[in-house]
A and B are shown apart, each in its own frame.
Chain A
């Protein structure tokens, strides 16, 4: 994949991109969740 033959390497790239996408989606989906909490725990 993209010139990298070892699956252990390209899978790591896929995972890194996947986690990045997960961060973006998490932020977007929870954009307004949990606002103005006075206390928690």
Chain B
């Protein structure tokens, strides 16, 4: 966002106050971090309000607001189905069905990371290594995407060179993550979540005020359906207040990649799962649900609604739809709208909200990668005792890797990183994670087979079929001479839609086979008796 209309001194002063608050909260985290359990799971004593805001702020990155808000400006209000899943699956299901059990089992087994939880529940070091490896290999790409987005944003708003923005952004976040661990991350997340809430609330209210009211704005948007570009109409776009044609390419992208891919993918995100282990009891989880639902509604619900409505503003003021007004760049729509329509003071508030969204997600990713490397992999291989220093070193190293990737990776791959990482996590982890929480006798072999099958199928579909990624990765072109295999219908289907059911079937099949084996049946009986005695 370019804040040319905003007084630079005011902007710099507010940014400094924001950074000072971050430093204070980071210092508080540092002071309260005495041992590895403090660093990894915030000492299991986080307040429910902090949990809810931290979970929400980590969940919602800048790309969820600017990127997906821009997609809503392009494709319309159908994106609100993602908000339905964000709240129904990402909060209600995640906290009530997954979160409470995760906390209970995590506390009982003294698990301190997501891979540690899987490893201890399945009594499998391999499971811990494999989950840690997926995080250490897959997450830096997503982290680099967040870093680049944040740096570009700082570059344009504060008018400083890109390299300085990138390195400064990474250094500030690294400082409080490396020193203060998850306590510092969650304290800063909570403050950032509060800023995001203020920013999005003002954005919604001012948008409806600008457009003459709720019903008037929606009526105006519905009246623009004749202005849908021909290429989009041919792909199934029917207008901004209606769903695309069933089964059309836009419908498939909207439903499989955006709504289901991102909506379900959130359930097995290691950086979110670990937050359930930061509270001491289920009461804290219950209370966090009360805040988490409305928070997410005000994030994605507002971003997608306002995103679609930007078309009305640009048509009324510029005579063209939002995509045209932003020069065809979906990511530029929301910033262009804010700059064109909002008062100066709000531009600063929104700038801070976006910076907060980027920092909260980035800090959580660095912490998750660093602890996977330092605690789950390095400590396991060295057979060492849990160590605060190992996790800190892991975090510092992963910051370096992510910054390096941000310079090396092509922008085209970075742009796909968020959806790719969510899909990979759900495909690899979700069935095994669910079974770890709810199976009476979780099967180690079935879980490993499910993780390997899910991750492998996700990779094959991503590299060879789902054209949005395969055309960028270039493997299919190099081996088969075509950007993607199979028909155009399948090329639009997200890898998650194929890999997750496969991983689930492999898990269920493996568990069924194991149940028929005499020694497993005996162990199962022992477990049932053991649980009855507890």
- Residues of A near any B CB (own CB < 8 A): 2-6, 8-9, 12-13, 15-17, 19-24, 26-28, 30-37, 39-41
Contacts and interface: CB of A to CB of B under 8 A. Distances in A.
B286 A26 contact: yes
A33 B291 contact: no
Contacts of B215: 2-3
B243 A6 contact: yes
A34 B107 contact: no
Interface in B174-233: 214-219, 221-222
Interface residues of B, number: 46
B214 A23 contact: no
A33 B214 contact: no
30 contacts: A4-B241, A5-B242, A8-B78, A8-B242, A8-B243, A9-B80, A9-B242, A12-B77, A16-B80, A16-B84, A19-B84, A19-B88, A19-B91, A19-B92, A21-B293, A22-B92, A23-B292, A26-B92, A27-B288, A30-B283, A33-B282, A33-B283, A34-B100, A34-B285, A36-B280, A36-B281, A37-B280, A39-B107, A39-B108, A40-B108
Given A6-B241, A15-B84, A16-B80, 17 more contacts: A3-B214, A3-B241, A4-B218, A4-B241, A5-B242, A16-B301, A19-B91, A23-B292, A24-B290, A26-B92, A30-B286, A31-B283, A34-B100, A35-B281, A36-B280, A41-B101, A41-B104
B297 interface: yes
A24 B78 contact: no
Of residues A6, A9, A30, which shows the largest number of chain B Cβ atoms within 10 Å of its Cβ?
A: A9
Contacts, number: 122
Contacts of B217: 3
B105 A40 contact: yes
Among A5, A6, A27, A32, find the residue whose CB has the most chain B CB atoms closer than 10 A.
A27
Interface of B: 77-78, 80-81, 83-84, 87-88, 91-92, 96, 100-101, 103-105, 107-108, 214-219, 221-222, 241-243, 280-283, 285-294, 296-297, 301
A4 B449 CA distance: 47
A26 B282 CA distance: 12
Contact of A34 (B221, B283, B291, B293): B283
Contacts of B103: 40
A34 B92 contact: no
A36 B107 CA distance: 12
Nearest to B121: A41
A9 B78 contact: yes
A7 B87 CA distance: 20
B80 A12 contact: yes
A15 B88 contact: yes
B96 to A, nearest CB: 7
A38 to B, nearest CB: 8
Contacts of B101: 41
